[in-house]
Structure 1
Amino acid sequence: MTKNASDRKDKQTRLILSIPYKITSADTDMNLRLRMSALSNLLIQSAINSAETLRAGFLDLEKQNLFWVLSRMTIEIDKPLVWNDSLEVETWPKDVKKIFYLRDFLVRNNEQNIVAKATSGWLAIDKLTKRPQTLKQELSDIFSELKDRHAINALPEKLFPVKEGEISELKTTYYDIDLNGHVTSIRYIDWMMDTFPVEFHKNNYPKKVSINYQNETRINETVQITRNTIDGKTFLFEGINRTRNLASFHGKIFF
């Protein structure tokens, strides 16, 4: 191996971050399985830690008057994790596609078997205009270094409006809101999962979850959720912010 090839391999290795976690009772549902929102949170926290390590974190983007927003995520689950399980989340910046900064994830159990994988698309949002922007070139270059390394060899799934189905409604409260002043990403997954009865959850666990975040949702706003099913196993969701008449999110869960 030449020195240049060796240096490039070392650089690529530094872009991959692995973080150990242990599932607590607060992370699980009443059947002791890892909640989908808790799994999503572990992925998001790993992404935050990775970005900070690469000097592309919250404080780094703040210097450019930008902040990260998760726009799309697709998670595939091979085996549910349960209370007291140890796991490791491996994540890396993968590529840049138009305005999306892509990031992938692998989740391994304590036997180092892959039990879940995910891909995600993030936006760098301007604090004033609320519009997506591009990062400085040296940061953008980081996101293309591992473009041939995939957890899921596809873009995060693009989802569409749901025209009809079962309808439920909720109002956002204080603990739905994150440090950016809008509903935190994982709450939308809880909202989708809460549309199913207890008995359904007892006998089913998601094999694949996709979500697209359309517009921010703020405190004390009313969200109408429409859920439809294709075949009794695949469910489509749309959240409409009735306070401001905007699409809030689109979701898809396959059991």
Structure 2
Amino acid sequence: MVATAATASMFPVSSPEPHSGAKKSGKHGNEPGSVDVRRIKTKSVNSGGIQVKHKSQAPKEVNRSKIHVMNDLKTDDNSTSHAPRTFMNQLPDWSMLLAAITTIFLAAEKQWMLLEWKTKRPDMVVGLDPFGLGRIVQDGLLFRQNFSIRSYEIGADRTASIETLMNHFQETALNHTKSVGILGDGFSSTPEMDKMNLFWALTKMRVIVDRYPTWGDVVEVSTWIAQNAKNNVRRDWLLRDCKSGEILARASSNWVMMNKETRRLSKIPDEVRGQFEHYFVDAPPVVDDDCRKLPKLEEATADYVRSGLTPKWSDLDINQHVNNVRYIGWIFESATQVMERYELASITLEYRRECRKDSVLKSLTSVAGGGIDDSNHVDCQHVLLFEGGSDGAPGGEVVKGRTEWRQKCKNQIRNTDHSSAGNV
């Protein structure tokens, strides 16, 4: 722009003659051609900061009133009055040419800087999803989306929490449904489900985590659906490290339909099934189903108890019940002593009842063997129960679960100790 301004000040732009041989600058960088000013036959002269039009007549007086006459300002192309032919007014429009060259140079410089940055920091660009919207794979059968682990998604161990991973799973499931065009107004419901007042309800989920990502890592989540039973749909996920391709976590879940009004389970209508059944993938679950029956856990037999848990407004989803990820945080409210020394390796959850905004819950945890020791592996059982006075039956089971824990590495334990010591 500086070069353009300087050139324009040194070479005033004049009107080229029809046959002067002036070239359009539009041939350079596909920029628009110069403006045609042949129809304007005036010339301005700068005299002491006052613009005076050349050859313009002085105002004439008619009956002592002034009438401005501008006969010399012609707009007829056939006019015989021409500006003097000089060397300067036959030159092409150099300002437009320099502007085009400057634009091309700046664009090339920007691309070169971006290429140099990618070479220096490949860890920041490998596998990135530019818009974070994900992409369809295999004609809609698979959906993949990348996530960058944010600072607010990690915990005291400096790794992403299980809730973070499950939130990413849930996000990809919704985006998968949206991308293939079968998302209605509800939470992952189809248009036919909206008409019939139905929504999806999670009944069981199993997650196995081999390694937790850390702050700044970019992960790729792949998801797909499969038919599990006549009235049961399975959804699976794989979470990989974008840089290494390593599988970090696997998850499998079962879903059924529920009526919004009656809050009862419903069969899958044929009209609804027809909207998504051609997206089914014929593949076994990515994790083996844990068929072990979860024994009944009561407060008298539990090792740890945490009562008085109530949902906040932010814990509710658009179906007006507690989001399934929130239950995990409540389960761990009675397992904090386990979490301080061990890292979650797998979790299996069975959802029995929905929890709504007026519910009051109690979290129970039982450790296999009766307590925490120095072993490398610990198994726990969990249950969330309705307390008296809530909208569910007192003592009714909301969620039952089983967790497996592995011992933390020394660096994780040291980081946790430092975090605890820093909180005064």
Q: Give the TM-score normalised by structure 2.
A: 0.53
**2:311 aligned to 172, 188, 202, which one?**
172
Is 2:201–2:258's contact at 8 Å kept on the other side of the alignment? yes
1:4 corresponding residue in structure 2: none
Aligned residue type for 1:234: D
**2:201 aligned to 69, 78, 82, which one?**
69
Q: CA deviation at 1:147?
A: 2.7
Q: Secondary structure at the match of 1:205?
A: strand
Q: How far apart are the structure 1 equivalents of 2:385 and 2:212?
A: 30
Q: How does 1:10-89 map to 2 (within 5 A)?
A: 13-59=139-185, 60=190, 61-89=193-221
Q: CA deviation at 1:117?
A: 0.3
Q: Judging by fraction of residues, say which structure has more strand.
A: 1
Q: How far apart are the structure 2 equivalents of 1:28 and 1:109?
A: 16
Aligned residue type for 1:105: W
Q: How far apart are the structure 1 equivalents of 2:285 and 2:138?
A: 13
Aligned residue type for 2:234: L
1:234 corresponding residue in structure 2: 379
2:238 corresponding residue in structure 1: 106
Q: CA deviation at 1:187?
A: 0.9
Is 1:237–1:250's contact at 8 Å kept on the other side of the alignment? yes
Aligned residue type for 1:185: N
Q: How far apart are the structure 2 equivalents of 1:156 and 1:100?
A: 17
Q: How far apart are the structure 2 equivalents of 1:26 and 1:142?
A: 38
Q: How far apart are the structure 2 equivalents of 1:128 and 1:201?
A: 39
Q: Is 212-221 or 99-108 further displaced after alignment?
A: 212-221
Aligned residue type for 2:352: Q
Matched, 1:116 2:249: yes
Q: Secondary structure at the match of 1:106?
A: strand
2:331 corresponding residue in structure 1: 192
Q: Which runs of 5+ in 2 are unaligned?
A: 1-135, 373-377, 406-424
Counting aligned pairs with the same residue, the percent is: 20
1:3 corresponding residue in structure 2: none
CA RMSD of aligned residues (A): 2.4
2:267 corresponding residue in structure 1: 133
1:146 corresponding residue in structure 2: 281
Q: CA deviation at 1:12?
A: 5.3
Q: Secondary structure at the match of 1:191?
A: helix
2:351 corresponding residue in structure 1: 213
Q: Give the TM-score normalised by structure 1.
A: 0.86
Q: Deviation per CA, 1:207-254, whole angstroms, max 9, x where unpaired? A: 101111111111232101111122451111111112222321111111
Q: Deviation per CA, 1:16-41, whole angstroms, max 9, x where unpaired? A: 00110011122111222111111111
Q: Secondary structure at the match of 2:158?
A: coil
In structure 2, relative to structure 1, the CA distance for the partners of 1:14 and 1:88 (3 Å cut) is: same
1:250 corresponding residue in structure 2: 400
Aligned residue type for 1:71: T
Q: How far apart are the structure 2 equivalents of 1:205 and 1:50?
A: 30
In structure 2, relative to structure 1, the CA distance for the partners of 1:56 and 1:213 (3 Å cut) is: farther
In structure 2, relative to structure 1, the CA distance for the partners of 1:223 and 1:118 (3 Å cut) is: same
Q: How far apart are the structure 1 equivalents of 2:172 and 2:291?
A: 18
Report how many residues are paired: 244
